[in-house]
Amino acid sequence: MGFFLRLVRDPLGAAGFVLVLFWVIIALLAPVISPPQNQRNPYAIARTGFSSIPQPPSEKAVFGRTSGGYDILYGIVWGSRTAFRVGLIVVSCTSLIGIILGGLGAFIGGWIDETVMRVTDLFMSFPFLIAVIVMSIVLGKGLDKVILALIIFGWRHYARIMRSEVLSVRERDFVSAAKSLGASKLRIFFRHVLPNSVFPVFVLATIDIGTMVRIAAALSFLGVGAEPGYADWGQMINFSRQWLLGIVGDPFCYWYTYTYPAIAILTFVLGWSLLGDVLRDIFDPRMQKARRGSS
Amino acid sequence: MVYYILKRLLLIPILLLILSALIFSLVMFLNPYERLSVFIPNPEAAIAGIPFEELITRYGLDKPFYVQYYNWLKELFHGNLGWSASARMSVFKAISRYFPATVELMLLSALITFAGGIFLGTYAATHHNRLADQAARVATSIGVSLPEFVFGLAMLVIFYAWLGWFPPGRLSYWANEIVYLSEFKRYTGMNVIDSVLNGRIDICADALRHLILPALSYSIGLLSVVLRLMRSSLLETLGKDYVTTARAKGLLEKVVIHKHARRNALLPVITVAGSIVARMLGGAVVVEVVFNYPGMGRFIVVSAQGLDFPAILGAALLIGTLIIIVNLIIDFLYTVLNPTVTLR
């Protein structure tokens, strides 16, 4: 509880918490806010007609409709579920891979550590976005392919951070104490080293939930992500691209096609990144001192 | 030290070999027919008369992975990167045309990122907890979270659709015609530099007019990262004893900050600079697509969408090489700046 209070006492932390909470509520209440047209496939954005010209907000469609008759509000509401799915799945998988590879490598040392680090270096020299684009094109269309591609190339930072943490924790006194008490290697690793070195990974993971959603949205924007008509924020912005310039004399006449999805992405990513920043301050008192300034 | 650099330099070709093999193996996920589709420009019209099996055998698409990889590698060492079907020119020619455009964009972005980030970060730290500092805290949080394509599209709506100041693309139509004349000598392939060397200031201005929005959208997130880092690092340095000593000596606050504190505070920024430059090299993709800017990023996206693998392999190899070299330089620079770190 004290931890939570410290989180929300910081105005930026509180803002982050509110933003994330807002999207959690939206995602949970999605069927209530926008009842799906097709019960079996709620992620297909509800559409009325196939008119290629966007329709401004009205009573029937509160946020208006984008080209193809897709309801913008529906896409935003169900897109929040997509965002949570992408963020949570990718980050839990990548951080787990990073913790295991980096942590065990550093703990065991020797050639295993060397191999893990060289493989990490190799993945580091891949341009991340290009690698993910190529991978998801090779795997085919669909959000699950994007998730897989993000996992394959996303674990490298976690392995690095975990390794450097374990290397310093391994030398601490309580580890030597456990060793002299005759604890097994596995027990030392899981009971003593791991819990004391996992916090930086935790902080990075919080920020990464937003980052991964941002990258997945960029992929959808480039047309290599979700299938057309799937509730996904990046794709909705891609839809709006041809309406961006408006018409002569009224450059903002299709403002609703891009404004709402852009706000959705921004607030989601911002929420997680604010939360992560404040978590870092709380877990790392040295950083806190630097931030608040000791002079 | 020398031993360390030699070891790292020797590792580069090995890393590149594995890197290219990995990218190449990605291609192998597709079956030969899919990979053949690149060579067939208009499938609907030609579907009846295409001897698929014969073509697959001729291009060796059904051979095992290592044979195809070996063939590609052999061609590579002869300076032949293959034919890019989507760009309708050889991969080498496509890269030599698109790469300078990206370098131009990147140099301007790097300038905005580092100059802006360091200057604003210093300002925020020296005005700690005042309005400017609080504004910087909020602005960088938004800057870090803002997707490049959202910011880029917003810029396009405001500065192109509404105000009509900065158009997308790389050059205006009239300038494009002059640039491709034979009197206009290409020294670097970068429009801004070439036009100055040719004495055409109007073209330089036009090139900059097209560059400014993509560079801004590209650097806004990275600028926020540098600003934050500079701010927190400088705040920490300002609390150190030698800064207090310098102040106690009665030095001007300006001298204390610029001569004593900022130099040491720059160290973490330089450490991160490598990863920022590496991210820049691989990250212009989205911005170039948004602004229809004909650079490497857009080239890669277009060729990836057309399953044009010779192009992707060539481009990825070039970028991978650059990232490895940049990382090496940064490691080296780090030891020069911080003598307490020794390389092994």
The answer for A43, left when phi > 0, alpha when psi is -120 to 50, beta otherwise, is: alpha
* Phi, psi values for residue A66, rounded to 5°: -90, 180
Interface test with A, best of B149, B241, B264, B277 (most A CBs within 10 A): B149
Predicted pLDDT of residue B181: 74
Closest CA to B96 of B311, B327, B321, B305: B311
Interface test with B, best of A134, A233, A280 (most B CBs within 10 A): A134
| Contacting residues for B341 by C-beta, under 8 A, at least 6 apart | B334, B335
Q: Which helix H or strand E contains A65, and what residues bound it? A: strand A65-66
| Two tokens, residue B197 | 């060397």
* Phi, psi values for residue A44, rounded to 5°: -75, 125
Q: How confident is the model at residue A292 (pLDDT cuts 50, 70, 90)?
A: very low
Q: What is the DSSP string of B209-252?
A: HHHHHHHHHHHHHHHHHHHHHHHHHHHHHHTSHHHHHHHHTT--
Whether B238 and A269 lie within 8 Å, measured CB to CB:
no
| Two tokens, residue B198 | 């040719």
Contacts of B217 in chain A (CB under 8 A): none
Pairing of strands A70-71, B83-84: unpaired
| Contacting residues for B84 by C-beta, under 8 A, at least 6 apart | B90, B91, B94, B303, B308, B310, B311, B314
Whether B161 and A121 lie within 8 Å, measured CB to CB:
no
Chain A: closest CA distance from residue B185 (Å): 33
Chain A: closest CA distance from residue B182 (Å): 35
**Would you say the ipTM is above 0.95?**
no
* CB-based contact B216:B155 (threshold 8 Å): yes
Burial of B127 (0-12, 13-18, 19+ CB in 10 A): middle
CA A113 vs CA A149, A166, A201, B29, B299: distances in Å: 25, 12, 18, 30, 38
Contacts of B22 in chain A (CB under 8 A): 122, 126
HSE-CB of A29 using CA atoms within 13 angstroms: 8
Dist CA A261 CA A239 (whole Å): 10
Closest CA to A72 of A41, A38, A46: A46
CA B295 vs CA B179, B278, B309: distances in Å: 16, 16, 17
Q: What is the DSSP string of A224-252?
A: SSSPTTBS-HHHHHHHHGGGTT-BTTBTT
Dist CA A223 CA B309 (whole Å): 18
Average pLDDT over residues A247-270: 84
| Two tokens, residue A227 | 């299938």
Contacts of A287 in chain B (CB under 8 A): 232
Contacts of B304 in chain A (CB under 8 A): 133-134, 137, 224
| Two tokens, residue B217 | 């959208």
B217-236 per-residue burial string, b: 16 or more CB within 10 A, e: under 16? bbbbbbbbbbbbbbbbbbbb
Chain B: closest CA distance from residue A243 (Å): 10
Average pLDDT over residues A223-237: 83
CB nearest A251 (choices: B18, B149, B162): B162
What ranges make up the beta strands (E) of A123-233?
none
| Contacting residues for B103 by C-beta, under 8 A, at least 6 apart | B190
Interface test with A, best of B128, B144, B256 (most A CBs within 10 A): B144
Chain A: closest CA distance from residue B176 (Å): 23
Predicted pLDDT of residue B50: 65
Average pLDDT, chain A: 83
Give helix then strand counts, H and E, for chain A: 16, 2
Chain A: closest CA distance from residue B160 (Å): 8
- Give the dihedral sign, CA B261/B264/B265/B269: positive
Average pLDDT, consecutive stretches of 10 residues, N- to C-terminus, chain B (344 residues): 78 82 78 67 58 71 77 78 77 87 90 92 88 87 87 86 82 77 76 80 85 90 90 86 85 83 82 77 81 88 81 83 80 70 52
Closest CA to B307 of B25, B84, B43: B84
Contacts of A138 in chain B (CB under 8 A): 26-27, 29-30
Predicted pLDDT of residue A265: 92
The answer for A246, left when phi > 0, alpha when psi is -120 to 50, beta otherwise, is: left
What ranges make up the beta strands (E) of B61-102?
83-84, 89-90
Beta bridge partners of A47: A70
Report pLDDT digits (tens) over A178-221. Answer: 888 888 888 888 888 888 888 888 888 988 898 899 999 988 88
Compute how many other C-beta atoms are within 10 angstroms of the C-beta atom of residue B41: 10
CB nearest A122 (choices: B19, B129, B137): B19
Q: Vertex B219, ends B198 and B216: CA angle to 5°?
A: 60
Dist CA B192 CA A93 (whole Å): 45
Interface test with B, best of A207, A265, A295 (most B CBs within 10 A): A295
Chain A: closest CA distance from residue B305 (Å): 7
Q: Which helix H or strand E contains A66, and what residues bound it? A: strand A65-66
Report pLDDT digits (tens) over A123-179. Answer: 877 778 888 888 888 887 788 889 999 999 889 889 988 988 888 888 888 888 988
Predicted pLDDT of residue A283: 75
Compute how many other C-beta atoms are within 10 angstroms of the C-beta atom of residue A251: 18
pLDDT of A25 > 90? The answer is yes
Closest CA to A235 of A130, A135, A146: A146
Contacts of B230 in chain A (CB under 8 A): none
Chain A: closest CA distance from residue B164 (Å): 10
pLDDT of A118 > 50? The answer is yes
Closest CA to A92 of A20, A151, A142, A148: A151
* CB-based contact A95:A158 (threshold 8 Å): yes
Amino acid (1-letter code) at residue B21: A
Average pLDDT over residues A287-294: 43
Dist CA A98 CA A100 (whole Å): 6
Secondary structure letter of residue A45 according to DSSP: P
B239-248 per-residue burial string, b: 16 or more CB within 10 A, e: under 16? ebeebeebbe
Predicted pLDDT of residue A288: 46
CB nearest B153 (choices: A139, A237, A277): A237
Dist CA A150 CA A94 (whole Å): 8
CB nearest A127 (choices: B26, B243, B281): B281
Whether A251 and B301 lie within 8 Å, measured CB to CB:
no
Chain A: closest CA distance from residue B209 (Å): 19
* Phi, psi values for residue A65, rounded to 5°: -125, 140
| Two tokens, residue B7 | 């070891």
Closest CA to A154 of A111, A216, A105: A216
Dist CA B170 CA B204 (whole Å): 11
Q: Is the pTM of this model over 0.90?
A: no
Residue whose tokens read 């600079």: B273
If you count residue pairs, one on A and one on B, with CB atoms under 8 Å apart, how many are there? 150
| Contacting residues for A101 by C-beta, under 8 A, at least 6 apart | A116, A120, A155, A159, A162
| Contacting residues for B14 by C-beta, under 8 A, at least 6 apart | none
CB nearest B145 (choices: A127, A130, A210): A210
| Contacting residues for A148 by C-beta, under 8 A, at least 6 apart | A135, A136, A139
